[in-house]
Amino acid sequence: MPVLLEPDRAPALSELLKAIPGGLVQRVVQGSGDFVDPPIAGLGALTSAGPSEISFIVHAKYLPQMSQTRACAVIVLPEIDEQLAASDPVPAYARVVCKHPYLLYARLAQWFDWARQPARLAAIHPTAIVDPTAQVAPSASIGAYTVVGARSRIGAMTQIGAGTVIGADVEIGVSSNIHARVTIYDNVRIGARALILSGAVLGADGFGFAPDPSIAKGAWGRIPQFGGVLIGNDVEIGANTTVDRGALEDTVLEDGVKLDNQIMIGHNCRIGAHTAAAACVGVAGSTTVGARCTLGGAAMLSGHLVIGDDVHISGGTAVTYNISTPGRYTGVFPSTEHAEWQRNAAVVSQLSTLRKRLRALERG
C-alpha cells in the first residue's frame, strides 16, 4: 500500500468524512478497538490496509477477509453492518455505514488524490515553446519540451505534461490534465476537467480515400480531413488512444465520455454523454453511439452505424448493424480446450447444410 499522507497531515476520520460531499454516510459505529476517531493516512484493500488506513467492502462475499483486516475503519453496507454488530466479539475497526460504499470509496480516493498532490507552481517550463499568439491562463502549467501552437488557448488551472505537442487553434478548458507525450492536432477543442493520458493522439487525419485509377490500378487518392474534434466536459481519454478528426464535420465526444487505453474512434463519430469504453475498442468512421452506453474491451463497431442510448456491448463483440433498443448485446465464439474447439469449429462451416438435413428429416 502506498502511504498517501504523512502522519502529521492525516485527517481524523470525522474530519475526513465531513470533507466528502454528498451525504453518503449514514452513521459511524465505534468498534471494539482503540480506534476512536482515528487519523486516516490512506486507503487500502481489506487484506493489505494498515492501521492508519480506511478500507471498504462492497459485497458480502468479502466478509471472510474482514476478520483479518488491520484497517482502522471500514466502509460497509447497512446490512453488513448489522451482521457485524451482532458478531462476537464486535470488530475492532470503526464501521462507516453507507448505502453506496463504492461511491464513498471513490470520493475518499479523490480526496486523498487531491490532498497528496504537491503544491504545483503554475509555470511554463523554460523549454516549452508557446506560440506568441497562444493564450495560457496564468494558473495553468506547461511541462518541459512541450509545444503549443498558434492561437491555442489553455484554461485556468490546467496542466500540460512534458513532451506534449499541441497544434494551432486548440482549446483546452479549465482544470484539465493533459499528461506527458500527448499529441493534439490543430482545431481540437476540449472542455473542462479533461484527463488525457500519455500517448493519446487527438485529431489525426481520418482514414478517407477515393479509388483513383489515374495513379495506378487499385490505387487510393487521399481525401483531406477538414473537420476537427469536439470534446465535452469531464471526458477522460486513455493511453495511446486515438480520436480522428472529421472529414468535413467534427468528430464529437460528448460530456462525461470515458475512453480507456488503446481505443480507436474513427472520423465523424459521435460518442454520447457518459458512455464508457474499455480498452482496445474500435469504432469505425461515422458511427454514432448513444448516451450511457458501455463498450466492453475489444468490442468493434462497424462504420455508419447508429447505436441508441443505454446499449451495452460485451467485450470482444463485433457489431455490424444498428441497435435502437437498450440492452446488452453479445457475439463471441466461446473458447474451449483446443481439440474441442477444432471439433466444433469444423461443424460451423456446415451449419447451413446441417439445417437442411434437419429439415429433410422433419419432413420425413
**Would you say 89 or 218 has its CB closer to its own copies?**
218
- Of positions 69, 261, 286, 288, contacts its own copies by CB under 8 A: 261
Copy the grid coordinates of residue 298: 475489444
Closest CB 233 distance from its own copies, rounded Å: 10
Closest CB 198 distance from its own copies, rounded Å: 4
For cell 495513379, the residue is 215
Task: Check 179, 267, 274, 312 and give the catalytic one.
Answer: 267
Residue 316 touches its own copies, criterion: CB under 8 A: yes
Residue 273 touches its own copies, criterion: CB under 8 A: yes
Residue 70 touches its own copies, criterion: CB under 8 A: no
**Would you say 60 or 358 has its CB closer to its own copies?**
358
Closest CB 72 distance from its own copies, rounded Å: 16
- Of positions 262, 271, 288, 324, contacts its own copies by CB under 8 A: 262
Bridge-partner residues for 236, per DSSP? 195, 258
The contact mask relative to its own copies for 218-257 (x = CB under 8 A, - = no) is xxxxxxx-xxx-----x-x-xxx-x-x---xx-----xx-
CA distance 301 to 307: 9
Residue 107 touches its own copies, criterion: CB under 8 A: yes
| Residues contacting residue 296 through CB under 8 Å, at least 6 positions apart | 278, 281, 312, 313, 314, 315, 316, 317
The answer to whether residue 312 is catalytic is no
**Would you say 28 or 223 has its CB closer to its own copies?**
223
Which among 214, 201, 287, 277 is positioned nearest to 244, based on CA atoms?
A: 201
Closest CB 122 distance from its own copies, rounded Å: 19
How many residues of this chain bind its own copies (CB under 8 A)?
A: 135
Copy the grid coordinates of residue 36: 476512536
Give pairs for 64-71: CB < 8 Å, separation 24+. 66/91, 67/91, 69/93, 71/44, 71/46
| DSSP per residue, 113-137 | HHHHSPPPPP-B-TT-EE-TT-EE-
Q: Which stretch binds its own copies (CB under 8 A): 61-69, 79-87, 133-141, 318-326?
A: 318-326
CB distance 28 to 13 below 8 Å: yes
Residue 123 touches its own copies, criterion: CB under 8 A: no
Which among 3, 117, 109 is positioned nearest to 49, based on CA atoms?
A: 3
Closest CB 121 distance from its own copies, rounded Å: 14
**Would you say 66 or 264 has its CB closer to its own copies?**
264
Residue 139 touches its own copies, criterion: CB under 8 A: no
Which phi and psi angles does 201 have, rounded to 5°?
-130, 110
Q: Catalytic residue numbers? A: 267
